[in-house]
Chain A
Amino acid sequence: MIPFQFITAFLMMAMGIYALLYRRNLIKLILALNIIDSGIHLLLISFGYRVELGRIPTAPIYTGYETVKGAMVAPLPQALTLTSIVIGVCVLALAMALTMNAYRHYGSLDVKELRRLRG
């Protein structure tokens, strides 16, 4: 039995790859890249989840931990995901800037139109 978080993550990645292959608008391609990113983040975070009988899984933060005494989830995937989110925002900003410049030069965001050589 596969946990539903993994199914959702792989579904998001598959939808992003589908949109990357079959959409023609440049902004929709950037959105598809971001959706793939989010799917990978969800997969990473759900790898760190921890189930113990009788103990509620809680965030790995020691502030106020004395009153809860829950099972801490793994902190390593959260650090990886934080790094990955920063990289994702960098890629998004650069791709948006390039898209704006492409629209200024070609007057269109269609990938098929942009493929034509000009000048």
Chain B
Amino acid sequence: MIAPEFLYAVVVVMIAAFLSLLRVFLGPSVPDRVVGVDTLNTLIVAGMVLLGAAYDRTIYIDVAIVYALLSYVGTLAIARYLQGGLE
């Protein structure tokens, strides 16, 4: 069965993710929302690693690695667009 300590850690990560989602919804400016999405990406990577440990499958960790790489690229693309360097 699922070990309870991993489950509680995932619940804590989920609460933090909801808080950063609140920043995405309420953020007054666009960079605020981008920072919220970036925080959310990092928290999701942490949650994926924790769930991989909780379900006792090592294959789930690979998904977290790929997601960390792709979320970095996405944030970089939005930041470059906001800076006005896409011409």
Q: Does B associate with A?
A: yes
Instruction: Please name the residue on chain B nearest to A63 by beta carbon.
Output: B59
Report how far A56 CA is from B1 CA in the complex, Å: 7
Majority DSSP secondary structure for residues of B touching A? loop
Whether the Cβ atoms of B55 and A68 lie closer than 8 Å is yes
Could you tell me if A58 and B55 are in contact, using CB atoms closer than 8 angstroms? yes
Complex: A64 Cα to B61 Cα, angstroms: 13
Q: Smallest Cβ distance from B60 to chain A, in angstroms?
A: 8
- Give 1 or 0 for each of A56-79: 1 = CB within 8 Å of chain B CB: 101101011001101000000000
Interface size class of A (residues with CB under 8 A): under 10
Q: With a CB–CB cut-off of 8 A, which chain A residues contact B60?
A: 59
> Within 8 Å CB of A70, what residues of B?
55
Within 8 Å CB of B1, what residues of A? 56
Query: Chain A interface mostly helix, strand, loop or mixed?
Result: loop
In the docked arrangement, what's the CA distance between A102 and B73, Å? 28
Interface residue range, chain B: under 10
- Chain B residue at smallest Cβ distance from A65: B57
B32 at the A/B interface (Cβ < 8 Å)? no
Across-interface contacts of B2 in A (CB, < 8 A)? 56
Closest A residue to B60 by beta carbon equals: A59
State A56–B51 Cα separation when bound (angstroms): 13
* Chain B nearest CB, measured from A8 CB (Å): 16
B85 to chain A, nearest CB (A): 19
Which residues on the A side are within 8 Å of B58 (C-beta)? Answer: 64
- Which residues does chain A contribute within 8 Å of B57, judged by CB atoms? 58-59, 61, 64, 68
Task: Give chain A nearest CB distance to B35 CB in angstroms.
Answer: 22
- Point out residues on B near A: beta carbons under 8 Å: 1-2, 55-60
Closest 6 A-B residue pairs measured CB to CB? A68-B56, A64-B58, A61-B59, A64-B57, A63-B59, A67-B56
Known: A61-B57, A68-B57. 14 other contacts (CB 8 A): A56-B1, A56-B2, A56-B55, A58-B55, A59-B57, A59-B59, A59-B60, A61-B59, A63-B59, A64-B57, A64-B58, A67-B56, A68-B55, A70-B55
